[in-house]
Structure 1
Amino acid sequence: MLKQFVCRAAFLGLALLPAAAGAGEIPKAIKDAGVLKLSINATYPPMEYKDPETNTFKGLDIDLVDALAAKLGLKVERTDGLFAQLTPALTTGRTDFILSGMTDTPARRETMDFVNYMRAGAMFYTLTSSALKDPVELCGKKIATVRSTTYPGQVKDWSDENCVKAGKGPIEVVGTESSPDARLQLKQGRVDAAVQGGETIPFTSKQEGGIYKVIGKPMTVVYYGAAFRKTDSAFRDAVADALQELVKDGTYGKIFEKWELSDSALPAIMINSQPR
């Protein structure tokens, strides 16, 4: 009877463990250095941006990584660069991982693993002075968005489905180097609208005097994720564990509330867009 009880208890204990959770471990080199090296693209408020008054990095991603590092007993060293430079920095070992407004996609998952920490979605937006109100009015128009992101492909897919199939002209995607560049093109009248994560548009518009408005609803529902090399699964799991602890102790929720993004928060940290 006792043996059956012990076996049953052991089985129940195993059943309560997260199905996909691995044995997390911070790499020795990082522990010895006491520093997390991060490459970021600080042009995407409220996720990450540089405060012009203090010349310091701010944003949800900044606060989240700072809390993560504190949980792991590490400091953070950030290098700011173009979004297109983030993945090469990871694959060549110049950064430990990426946490900078990057969406988890099947294509990116071929070379990287993701720890998902936020829900997001691409949206059309334009100037408040524009007469454009409905997404279908964008058919045949010029739309600016960052060429190194997933947005150009998402706009094309939306255009094929909603414009081309309806016999209307396709949207012309104008690729830019950064989100500020896309907004500059819009303000200068070179494009009719632009695309970026819907979660960033209200903050950006507020920063720039309320000059933008969204058009329609998000085209997609995706997840932002911290990106890791495929060979760093134990490191990935350690970061996922630490982020989940931030969810449990309330730190995660307070950070999302601070940046008015509570609707984008996840109930639990995921890996590669799947529950752990």
Structure 2
Amino acid sequence: MLTGAAVLTHAASVEAAELPAAIKARGTLSAAIVPNYPPLDLRDPATNELSGLDVDLGNAIAAKLGVKMDWQETSFEQMISAVDTGRVDVILSGMTDLASRHDKVSFVDYLRSGPQFFVQASRAKDFPDMLALCGKSVGTSRRTSFPGEIADWSEQHCKSAGKPPINVVGTEGSPDARTQLKQGRVDAAMQGNETLPYVMKLEPNTYAVVGERISSQLTGIGVAKNATELQQALAEALRQLIADGSYKKILDKWGLSGDAVEEVTINAGT
């Protein structure tokens, strides 16, 4: 049981949680997205159209609510501000539900995943387990919670094993971390485990995972903190997508069925 999480009952329906009048009137739900986090958010290489699990899920939720999605491409740094000030209705771009973000944003959680270490495949034998990363450099996006999580993991595991700490290298994003890894500027990298199968399929025999993900996190649809009507409408729509099998089909399409949530929660992140 997730303490403090708002879990919806199965008796609810989309009709029981109406969209705000302004959204219904314009017929669109605007969403901030940063299409650089495949397979959640990307541009299709063949068409340059927005694609990914988040796009499919957002469009399915909008259809349940009787509106269309209006995708607004932005930067990661601007997303919380955009929803907090009302420039967009929601964030749907692989954002982790963190308690530290709850002062401005509430999250309707739709995915469970976690940060994962990986190395160059050619050096996999040098890293038989996660403790082999102690004293090494690990690149990860400075915009995420991962730098702090690596430092915490290092403090807990490397220090207790009498090994030197991990040197955390902040990067401009996951693609930059992978570039630095391939160039040998860092020994390892970290990104969400939900993204690695897609990346490893695009670049076969390039990377190898090390150990298990270091924590379990929820990914959520970000909504302004006080927009409770919209939060409930989104959550009801998501619950119905889970119930009718559409949610599973979307996750299966993107190879993420193992990261599915079983219950719809709001602000269950820690």
Q: TM-score, normalised by structure 1?
A: 0.88
Structure-2 residue corresponding to 1:117: 110
Q: How much does 1:64 deviate?
A: 0.4
Indicate yes or no: 2:95 matched with 1:102.
yes
Structure-1 residue corresponding to 2:120: 127
CA distance in 2, matches of 1:165, 1:151: 21
Structure-1 residue corresponding to 2:9: 18
Q: How much does 1:201 deviate?
A: 0.5
Q: How much does 1:220 deviate?
A: 0.2
What's the secondary structure of 2:185's corresponding residue? coil
* 2:223 aligned to which of 210, 224, 228: 228
Q: How much does 1:132 deviate?
A: 2.1
Aligned residue runs from structure 1 range 102-251, under 5 A: 102-130=95-123, 131-251=126-246
* 1:41 aligned to which of 25, 34, 38: 34
Q: How much does 1:236 deviate?
A: 0.3
Q: Which amino acid aligns with 2:202?
A: Q
CA distance in 2, matches of 1:215, 1:125: 5
Cα offsets for 1:230-269 (capped at 9, x unmatched): 1101110000000101111111111111111111111221
CA distance in 2, matches of 1:183, 1:158: 21
Q: How much does 1:85 deviate?
A: 2.2
Higher relative contact order, structure no. (Cα contacts within 8 Å, ≥ 6 residues apart)? 2
CA distance in 1, matches of 2:81, 2:167: 28
Q: Which amino acid aligns with 2:197?
A: P
What's the secondary structure of 2:262's corresponding residue? strand
Tell me if the contact between 1:133 and 1:215 (Cα under 8 Å) persists in the aligned partners: yes
Larger radius of gyration: 1
Indicate yes or no: 2:14 matched with 1:50.
no
Q: How much does 1:97 deviate?
A: 0.8
Q: How much does 1:142 deviate?
A: 1.0
CA distance in 2, matches of 1:210, 1:85: 35
Structure-2 residue corresponding to 1:254: 249
Q: How much does 1:70 deviate?
A: 1.0
CA distance in 1, matches of 2:258, 2:147: 25
In terms of mean alpha carbon deviation, does 159-168 or 250-259 score higher? 159-168
Aligned length, in residue pairs = 258
CA distance in 2, matches of 1:71, 1:149: 31
CA distance in 1, matches of 2:209, 2:113: 15
Gaps of 5+ in 2: 1-7
Cα offsets for 1:28-63 (capped at 9, x unmatched): 221111111111111111111111220011111111
What's the secondary structure of 2:261's corresponding residue? strand
Cα offsets for 1:68-121 (capped at 9, x unmatched): 111111111212233222112212222111111111111112322111111111
CA distance in 2, matches of 1:25, 1:153: 38
Q: Which amino acid aligns with 1:211?
A: T
CA distance in 2, matches of 1:147, 1:81: 17
**TM superposition outliers: structure 1 runs of 4+ over 4 Å:** none
Q: How much does 1:167 deviate?
A: 2.4
Q: Which amino acid aligns with 1:255?
A: I
Cα offsets for 1:114-161 (capped at 9, x unmatched): 111111111101111113231111111111111111111111110100
| RMSD across aligned positions (CA) | 1.9
Q: Which amino acid aligns with 2:59?
A: D
Q: Which amino acid aligns with 1:132?
A: F
CA distance in 1, matches of 2:178, 2:22: 41
CA distance in 2, matches of 1:170, 1:112: 33
Structure-2 residue corresponding to 1:9: none
Tell me if the contact between 2:80 and 2:104 (Cα under 8 Å) persists in the aligned partners: no
CA distance in 1, matches of 2:17, 2:268: 18
